[in-house]
């Protein structure tokens, strides 16, 4: 049975690596995999070709979507909705509510697997993640650890060595801009960095 899956975790939890391993597994079974990433993720483009790339060196060519794109239209454009097709979305937190609704409709015909963050650096749900939690058929957490050894759940944005508490929701970056940590360490560090009166 086809479903809409949402696999989420903090930064550095191997979401993209798992998406690429999933892609590989489907391909070896004869499926045609349509791997998408958001256009706003400009970190990996090789010779003008968009790529999905992991910290451990796994890469794959992919298709891109913009905030204004309709997945109903993209499914028609790429002729996706066939029994042997699969849709995989990397950085699914950047989907819009409408795009998630369209992917839910597509999942009536093909498996749709979404990988992404649950919350932003302010510990608030992303729009796409919120909608995925509301309507996905399957939710699975991909666990990661904080420096202290507890489960990491917070994607702390680091600016000039300090935790940022304000700014744009989307700032594309990796280890140089973010650190995943448990909530206790997040609060402790944030409080320690507050200016003393």
Kindly provide the b/e burial profile for residues 104-130, where b requires at least 16 CB atoms within 10 angstroms of the residue's own CB.
bebbeebbbbbbbbbbbbeeeebbbbe
Q: Which domains are present in the chain?
A: 4-142 (3.40.50.300)
Q: Is 91 a catalytic residue?
A: yes
The confidence band for 169, taking pLDDT boundaries of 50, 70 and 90, is low
DSSP string covering 122-152, please?
TS-B-HHHHHHHHH-SEEEE---B-TTSSBP
Q: In whole angstroms, what is the distance from residue 71 CA to residue 134 CA?
A: 18
User: 75-124: per-residue pLDDT in tens?
Assistant: 999 999 999 999 999 999 999 999 999 999 999 999 999 999 999 999 99
pTM: 0.90
> By the 8 A CB rule, do 35 and 19 touch?
yes
pLDDT at 56 over 70: yes
Q: Which of 91, 102, 127, 179 is catalytic?
A: 91
């Amino acid at each position: 049975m086809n479903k809409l899956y949402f696999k989420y975790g903090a930064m550095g939890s191997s979401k993209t690596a798992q998406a690429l391993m999933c892609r590989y597994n489907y391909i070896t079974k004869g499926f045609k995999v349509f791997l998408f990433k958001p256009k706003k993720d400009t970190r990996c483009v090789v010779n003008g070709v968009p790529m999905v790339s992991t910290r451990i060196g796994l890469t794959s060519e992919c298709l891109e979507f913009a905030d204004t794109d309709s997945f109903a239209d993209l499914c028609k454009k790429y002729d996706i909705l066939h029994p042997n097709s699969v849709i995989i979305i990397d950085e699914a937190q950047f989907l819009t509510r409408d795009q998630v609704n369209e992917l839910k409709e597509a999942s009536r015909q093909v498996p749709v697997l979404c990988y992404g963050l649950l919350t932003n650096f302010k510990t608030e749900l992303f729009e796409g993640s919120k909608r995925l939690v509301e309507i996905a058929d399957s939710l699975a957490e991909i666990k990661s650890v904080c420096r202290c050894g507890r489960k990491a759940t917070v994607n702390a944005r680091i600016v000039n060595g300090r935790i940022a508490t304000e700014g744009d929701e989307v700032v594309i970056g990796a280890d140089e801009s973010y650190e995943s940590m448990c909530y206790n360490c997040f609060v402790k560090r944030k409080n320690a960095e507050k200016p003393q009166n």
